[in-house]
């Protein structure tokens, strides 16, 4: 193994605390294949890092599709809709890191903010080689090795090493060589331009006719190709995006449900109720109550 490689053991995991705790880590060393690709993008209220350990895959972030190569690092801040797509063939190895860290330690607030800057980038994907990659992966490999020994000090040591990893990543920002690549044919590229548009303008009025005019494509052709590329009709995709955004607001704000419906682009409260019920299996009010009882509710929006 080269020094710049990442240590890996299939099926291995490391966990410290739970997602409900202020400090939380979950390192998941596993593999995924094409037949268990997610149906639609998801989000969560903690940070996530995806490191591809095999040849290639794609990652969709808020409707934008990105090509991944081996050792690319995808950085996802809380509440960012995303999903990974793996190609047909053998399972692909990957490391997923879910985490939450306190950022309000007196005297360290600015440092913590800078440490998390890579997650705020428009394209939050890092591609490093050589010494920069070695410097970034070294703390992760130290965590992997350390975690195989049982010690009451492990949570503190792992937390310290992971902060070293985040700091190293921030320090190597100028060495990031990731570039956007065209994926698929011209039609596929246009469809993903449209999905990105939906995610950025879900609160506005979006129709087949208006999108067709904006992207210079016939309504019939758009309808057919959108379903072929994404697996959803255009209307289904818009509705699913709006419902995901509404779920975030229901959990993390005290906004009135009627205001959330309007904020997420629904034409009426009855339409919102009907579509939300269909996709979530319960009403918006029942969803909010369920999340509150599980401890997920917070008084203010945290993203």
Strand residues in the chain grouped as ranges (E): 12-16, 24-32, 47-52, 56-61, 64-69, 73-76, 82-85, 92-100, 125-126
Residues 41-51: pLDDT tens digits? 888 989 999 99
Question: Does 297 have pLDDT greater than 60?
Answer: no
Annotated domain spans of the chain = 12-175, 186-293
From CA 157, how far away is CA 16, in angstroms rounded? 11
248 Cβ partners below 8 Å, 6+ apart? 43, 79, 303
Residues 182-198: pLDDT tens digits? 898 999 999 999 999 99
CATH of domain 186-293: 1.10.10.60
Work out the average pLDDT over 265-286: 94
Q: What SS3 class is residue 211?
A: helix
What is the pLDDT at residue 299?
36
Alpha-carbon dihedral sign for residues 122, 124, 127, 131: positive
Q: Please state whether beta strands 64-69 and 56-61 pair in parallel, antiparallel, or not at all (unpaired).
A: antiparallel
What is the pLDDT at residue 3?
56
From CA 130, how far away is CA 246, in angstroms rounded? 43
Nearest to 85 by CA among 29, 130, 163, 33: 33
The arrangement of secondary structure in 12-175, i.e. its CATH architecture, is Sandwich (2.60)
pTM over the 0.75 mark: yes
């Amino acid at each position: 193994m080269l020094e710049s490689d990442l240590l890996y053991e299939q099926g291995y995991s490391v966990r410290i605390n739970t997602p409900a705790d202020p400090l939380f880590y979950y390192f998941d060393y596993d593999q995924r294949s094409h037949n268990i690709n997610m149906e639609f993008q998801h989000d969560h209220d903690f940070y996530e890092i995806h490191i591809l350990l095999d040849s290639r895959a794609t990652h969709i972030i808020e409707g934008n599709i990105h090509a991944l190569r081996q050792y690319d690092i995808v950085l996802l801040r809380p509440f960012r809709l995303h999903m990974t797509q793996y190609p047909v063939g053998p399972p692909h190895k990957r490391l997923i890191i879910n985490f939450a860290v306190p950022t309000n330690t007196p005297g360290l607030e600015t440092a913590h903010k800078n440490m998390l800057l890579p997650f705020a980038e428009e394209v939050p994907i890092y591609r490093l080689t050589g010494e920069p990659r070695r410097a970034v992966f070294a703390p992760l490999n130290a965590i992997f090795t350390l975690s195989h020994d049982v010690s009451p000090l492990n949570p503190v040591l792992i937390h310290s090493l992971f902060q070293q990893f985040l700091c190293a990543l921030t320090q190597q920002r100028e060495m990031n060589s990731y570039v956007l690549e065209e994926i698929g044919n011209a039609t596929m590229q246009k469809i993903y331009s449209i999905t990105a548009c939906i995610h950025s303008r879900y609160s506005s009025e979006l129709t087949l006719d208006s999108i067709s005019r904006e992207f210079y494509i016939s309504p019939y052709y758009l309808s057919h190709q959108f379903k072929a590329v994404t697996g959803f009709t255009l209307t289904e995709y818009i509705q699913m995006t709006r419902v995901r955004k509404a779920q975030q607001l229901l959990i993390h704000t005290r906004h009135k449900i009627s205001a959330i419906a309007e904020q997420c682009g629904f034409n009426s409260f009855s339409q919102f109720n009907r579509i939300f019920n269909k996709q979530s299996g319960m009403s918006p009010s029942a969803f909010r109550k369920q999340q509150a009882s599980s401890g997920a509710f917070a008084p203010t929006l945290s993203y």
